[in-house]
A and B are shown apart, each in its own frame.
Chain A
Amino acid sequence: MHAIVHNLIHIAVVLIAPPLLVGVINKVKAFFAGRTGPPLLQPYYDIIKLFQKGSVISETTTWVFLAGPPIALSTAILVSLLIPAAGSAAPISFEGDLILAAYLLGLGRFFTALAAMDTGSSFEGMGASREVTFACLAEPAFFLGLATTAKLTGSLSLSGMFGPELASHWSSAGASLALVFVGWFIVALAENSRIPFDDPNTHLELTMIHEVMVLDHGGPALGMILYGASIKLFVFAALLVRLATPIATRLPIVDWLIFGVGILGVAALIGVIESATARLRLSHIPVLLVAACLLCGFGLILLAR
């Protein structure tokens, strides 16, 4: 009974909360810029508005163009069901699901890139090439981080790896976990097209990475893309929070409270980074991603004492 309630709460949170993160990031950025900024709930209004609009679809495109947004959204939702949220296990969890989570995100990216190339636009082909390349460099960092936590906990399930078992290792292998945390934070910024990798607010096609891939999508399809992107951001934030605070008290309310504060904290941190740094030159992005791989790799090697 308790598990069912927990799962229902989990599903409700991962479906409802994600756009709020984007709102928080925007508020923080507005605060640093000395503006009032859009309302906290603006991302919700945007998504709802987009779902009410019609769309213009290029004549060059095929069904693949329409399949991109729903597959990207579905994969994000599926991954969000594999990630442990507060204290207890995720709704879907089995041995080996960590690999599944990473590859599901890969599937969403695969179809987003295909949908972009379906338009026959030079910009979108360019964006697709950039997105898959940078994701490919981020992938090893993500896996090496997973390997570190798996080595510590002996579990191959995300729920086991980021459960209370991990908490005891912060004292013995804290350095490794801290390295992984930093590496994963870089990965989260890259995967969610945040500064310094990509500027979600840029208006010049040639400088975009993710945004340029979805130029031709509009209306409900764009709404799905924005919603899916916010769920993906939530997933990464949740992983970071669970890595940093893998605790489970006996009180679910306290767990959820810690988790919620942590998630908002990650969003605020992203907002601060976006306010404080400029985006990198495109040719420097791989260097930072390789640095993330090295951080996670060092975290792993430190365990081999």
Chain B
Amino acid sequence: MELFLVAMAMLLTGAVASIVATRAPKIATVCGVAGAVGGCLTGLAPTLRVLAGGDRLESRFGWDAAHGLIRLEIDPLGAFFLAPVFVLGAIAAIYGGEYLFAYRHEKRLGAPWFFYNLFLAGMATVVAARTAVVFLTAWEIMSIAAFFLVTFEHEKPETRRAGWVYLVAAHLGVACLIGMFMLLGSRSGSFESAWEGLDFSALARTAANPPYATLIFLLAIAGFGAKAGFVPFHVWLPEAHPAAPSHVSALMSGVMIKLGIYGLLRILTMLGDPALWWGPALATLGVAGATAGVALAIEQRDIKRVLAYSSMENIGLITTALGVALWGAAARLPLVAAVATTAVFVHIWNHAIMKGLMFLAAGSALHGSGTKDLEKLGGLLKRMPLTGGLMIVGGVAMAALPPLNGFIGKWLIYVSLFRGGIAVAGTRGSIALLAAGALALIGGLAAIAFVRLLGIALLGSPRSEAAAHAHESPLAMTVPLAVLAVLCVIAAILPAQIVQTIAPAIDQARGIAAGQTAIEIAKAGAAPASLGYFNFCAIVLFLGGFAATIVILRVRGIARGSTWGCGYARPTSRMSYTASSFAELPADHATPRFFRPKESRRGFEGPFPAADEYASSVPDPISERLYEPFFSSWADRFARFRILQQGNIHIYLLYILIVVTAALAWVSTRIPRGGS
């Protein structure tokens, strides 16, 4: 555990050092990256020890004040979430060192590195915290550091808007969390024992009391869901992810949103046996989120917005699996629960790797060509062969296709749904099987989103000067991508070993004896080992087939020509298909009407029509139709309170006096007479 504290100290040292050296961009970058990488590698040691050994590391200290206990602990569940924080944190730091350095003439680099290291330390502490006070403090540090990272390019109005939306969403979420912990604390009566009353173990003892458990569960969904990006709390994702620097987006999307899932899992371990309706409710929420995310991903023009919505889809899938797991646990179907919980955990790691890869690759495309607008990209694979090739690996994984790792989690979710549907007779079983059909539609849509992303951005001919002059990234930006791509392949061919590694965490999350999950998975007939072996053979077959094709084509002779255009010999990039045209057919026929793009068209009028005008946009429907009317109407009402804001310091002092007097008066009435 000391190593964990050393790691936190290294992160903070790096943070402070880089802000001190902010006038020297090189030194600030070196300090920031060194602190982050050193801290992450140091922190990885205790994490791996817990994952390998299944034991727990703990440290307690604190000060003599109410709720002053500070307890940190690494248990298998925590170690499972710490691993991506540290692995992706270090990889993204190396990438970010090069990526941010391009801004050195316009911006000071001290602040982003300060907040980057603080962000990492915050995330790690969220996972290790074992008292509500420490947890909420770390949660706030994480959220606020992320806010400053998102607003790195604050001179752009859309970035300021993104930062604002994110900040509001994060704080509405944390408000729910504070309420949740207060409810937990008041139920357990643990506010009374002042020093360690809000320790998780104290909260867990008395949490499972049905009406309150339900309320706590709902607050946890709202509070943690705001961070994870559950529908309808997802609206900050598509704003914040594109605005943030790419290495930060990778970390936010790969790791931070998963901490919402972590929080939910942690609270669920405290709540004891789930009610029968929790699982189906959560699964419904997950399917809705996945559908909304993937439907909106298809239509976006900004690469990073596509990826942000795809994160929402994957969080939806993870939530679905979690819902199936809760249902399995409540309905006494241990096999279903085992497979579904495994799906949750496996997909969290896999999504962290592949989404990290995709965001970093998108960042390289932006770095190399200066744009992330799909309609202006094209032909990047020729100009950035290594980055482009690695992005294709990430895209296949993200589309959840075999033989890569994205498929493993999805496969487990399907198996759990099928197993549940077969085991339970009647309507409930059929609903589980119909959900598998919904998942198939979501999978098909995800494939469309990534065919479009890869096909438009990387292939064909460049659609703008910027894309035509794109350049390959330096090694410090390609090597992190390559590492992540290799991890994707390894995770695809060794799923059984990964399941074995994370089995202690799964057992802990399910609240069952260690080793039980492994037995149940074997019984359920879900065979990750067979799938891994198949993936390996398939990869070999594909590479062999590709090599053989090239040999055959060479032997038979290859001539070069231009693309077929019905005989037209000089095709230009303006003749190639656009991202919006590609999205039109699936958006019109395969997605819910609610999520389709808004189009405006002037149309032709009169006998001598002028030129027509056409515009289409894809605003987030929930943000546009739900939140914006709501918040703007309340903003109008609150505007009446402007009268209180006179901008004169004397008036504010008067307010303070009035409030303090009123508070004292209120308190004095409540103290019993003659009491101590």
Interface residues of A (CB under 8 A from B): 51-62, 64, 66-67, 69-71, 73-74, 78, 92, 94-96, 99-100, 102-104, 106-107, 109-110, 113-114, 116-126, 128-130, 132-133, 135-137, 139-140, 142-144, 147-148, 150-151, 154, 156, 205, 215-216, 219-221, 224, 283, 286, 293, 296-297, 300-301, 303-304
On whether A96 and B414 interact (CB within 8 A), knowing A57-B561, A144-B433, A154-B422, the answer reads yes
Give Cα A284 to B458, complex, Å: 32
Contact with A along B438-468 (1 / 0, CB 8 A): 1111011101101110111011110000000
CB distance from A229 to the nearest CB of B (A): 16
Q: Which residues of B from 526 to 556 have beta carbons under 8 Å from A? A: 526-527, 530-531, 534, 538, 541-542, 545-546, 548-550, 552-553, 556
Return the chain B residue nearest A127 by Cβ: B577
- Asked if B451 contacts A114 (CB within 8 A), the reply is yes
Identify the 6 closest CB pairs spanning chains A and B, nearest first: A125-B577, A136-B444, A117-B455, A54-B557, A120-B460, A95-B525
- Asked if B546 contacts A67 (CB within 8 A), the reply is yes
- Asked if B577 contacts A106 (CB within 8 A), the reply is no
CB distance from B328 to the nearest CB of A (A): 16
- Asked if A103 contacts B400 (CB within 8 A), the reply is yes
- Asked if A147 contacts B418 (CB within 8 A), the reply is yes
Task: Name B's interface SS.
Answer: helix
Contact with A along B507-529 (1 / 0, CB 8 A): 00000000000000000111100
Give Cα A8 to B558, complex, Å: 36
On whether A96 and B411 interact (CB within 8 A), knowing A106-B443, A114-B454, A140-B440, the answer reads yes
- Asked if A129 contacts B576 (CB within 8 A), the reply is no
Q: Does B63 contact A (CB under 8 A)?
A: no
On whether A129 and B440 interact (CB within 8 A), knowing A57-B558, A66-B550, A71-B546, the answer reads no
20 A-B pairs whose Cβ atoms sit less than 8 Å apart in the complex: A57-B561, A58-B561, A58-B562, A64-B459, A103-B401, A116-B455, A117-B459, A118-B459, A120-B459, A121-B564, A122-B565, A124-B577, A129-B581, A133-B448, A135-B444, A136-B444, A136-B586, A136-B590, A137-B441, A304-B425
CB distance from B534 to the nearest CB of A (A): 7
Give Cα A144 to B438, complex, Å: 9
Q: Does B566 contact A (CB under 8 A)?
A: yes
Return the chain A residue nearest B583 by Cβ: A129
Q: List chain B residues, Cβ under 8 A from A293.
A: 437
Besides the known contacts A136-B444, A139-B440, 13 further A-B residue pairs in the complex with CB atoms under 8 A apart: A54-B557, A60-B460, A60-B562, A60-B563, A99-B411, A109-B447, A120-B461, A125-B582, A133-B590, A136-B586, A137-B590, A151-B433, A215-B564
CB distance from B248 to the nearest CB of A (A): 29
Partner of B430, one of A53, A136, A304: A304
Q: Does B637 contact A (CB under 8 A)?
A: no
Give Cα A24 to B430, complex, Å: 39
On whether A95 and B526 interact (CB within 8 A), knowing A110-B451, A224-B549, the answer reads yes
- Asked if A301 contacts B430 (CB within 8 A), the reply is yes
Contact with A along B611-647 (1 / 0, CB 8 A): 0000000000000000000000000000000000000
- Asked if A300 contacts B447 (CB within 8 A), the reply is no
- Asked if A100 contacts B525 (CB within 8 A), the reply is no
Return the chain B residue nearest A132 by Cβ: B448
Give Cα A304 to B440, complex, Å: 21
- Asked if A125 contacts B576 (CB within 8 A), the reply is yes
Q: List chain B residues, Cβ under 8 A from A297.
A: 434, 437
Q: List chain B residues, Cβ under 8 A from A53.
A: 556
CB distance from A62 to the nearest CB of B (A): 5
Q: Does B102 contact A (CB under 8 A)?
A: no
CB distance from B447 to the nearest CB of A (A): 6
CB distance from A177 to the nearest CB of B (A): 15
Chain B interface residue count: which class? Answer: 35 or more
Q: List chain A residues, Cβ under 8 A from B584.
A: 129
CB distance from A44 to the nearest CB of B (A): 18
- Asked if A54 contacts B559 (CB within 8 A), the reply is yes
- Asked if B414 contacts A220 (CB within 8 A), the reply is no
Give Cα A286 to B561, complex, Å: 36
- Asked if B381 contacts A62 (CB within 8 A), the reply is yes
Give Cα A121 to B572, complex, Å: 9
Contact count A vs B, C-beta below 8 Å: 281
- Asked if A113 contacts B451 (CB within 8 A), the reply is yes
Q: List chain A residues, Cβ under 8 A from B585.
A: 129-130, 133
- Asked if A126 contacts B402 (CB within 8 A), the reply is no
CB distance from A121 to the nearest CB of B (A): 5
Q: List chain A residues, Cβ under 8 A from B558.
A: 54-57
CB distance from B579 to the nearest CB of A (A): 10
Q: Does B399 contact A (CB under 8 A)?
A: yes
- Asked if A303 contacts B438 (CB within 8 A), the reply is no
CB distance from A228 to the nearest CB of B (A): 10
- Asked if A121 contacts B550 (CB within 8 A), the reply is no
Q: Which residues of B from 370 to 428 have beta carbons under 8 Å from A? A: 378-379, 381-382, 392, 396, 399-403, 407, 410-411, 414-415, 418-419, 421-422, 425-427
Give Cα A144 to B566, complex, Å: 41
CB distance from A83 to the nearest CB of B (A): 15
- Asked if B415 contacts A92 (CB within 8 A), the reply is no
CB distance from A50 to the nearest CB of B (A): 10
Q: Which residues of B from 466 to 487 have beta carbons under 8 Å from A? A: none
- Asked if A74 contacts B541 (CB within 8 A), the reply is yes
Q: List chain B residues, Cβ under 8 A from A300.
A: 430, 433-434, 437
CB distance from A155 to the nearest CB of B (A): 9
- Asked if A56 contacts B561 (CB within 8 A), the reply is yes
Q: List chain B residues, Cβ under 8 A from A109.
A: 447
Q: List chain B residues, Cβ under 8 A from A107.
A: 396, 401-403
- Asked if B402 contacts A286 (CB within 8 A), the reply is no
Q: Does B232 contact A (CB under 8 A)?
A: no
Give Cα A278 to B666, complex, Å: 83
Partner of A104, one of B392, B402, B419: B402
Q: Does B68 contact A (CB under 8 A)?
A: no
Give Cα A66 to B452, complex, Å: 19
- Asked if B576 contacts A219 (CB within 8 A), the reply is no
Give Cα A224 to B460, complex, Å: 22
CB distance from A211 to the nearest CB of B (A): 12
- Asked if B421 contacts A147 (CB within 8 A), the reply is yes
Q: List chain A residues, Cβ under 8 A from B429.
A: 151, 304
- Asked if B581 contacts A125 (CB within 8 A), the reply is yes
On whether A125 and B589 interact (CB within 8 A), knowing A99-B415, A147-B421, A220-B549, the answer reads no
Partner of A114, one of B415, B427, B459, B561: B459
CB distance from A237 to the nearest CB of B (A): 21
Q: List chain B residues, Cβ under 8 A from A118.
A: 455, 459-460
- Asked if B525 contacts A64 (CB within 8 A), the reply is no
Q: List chain A residues, Cβ under 8 A from B538.
A: 74, 78, 104
Return the chain A residue nearest B463 by Cβ: A120
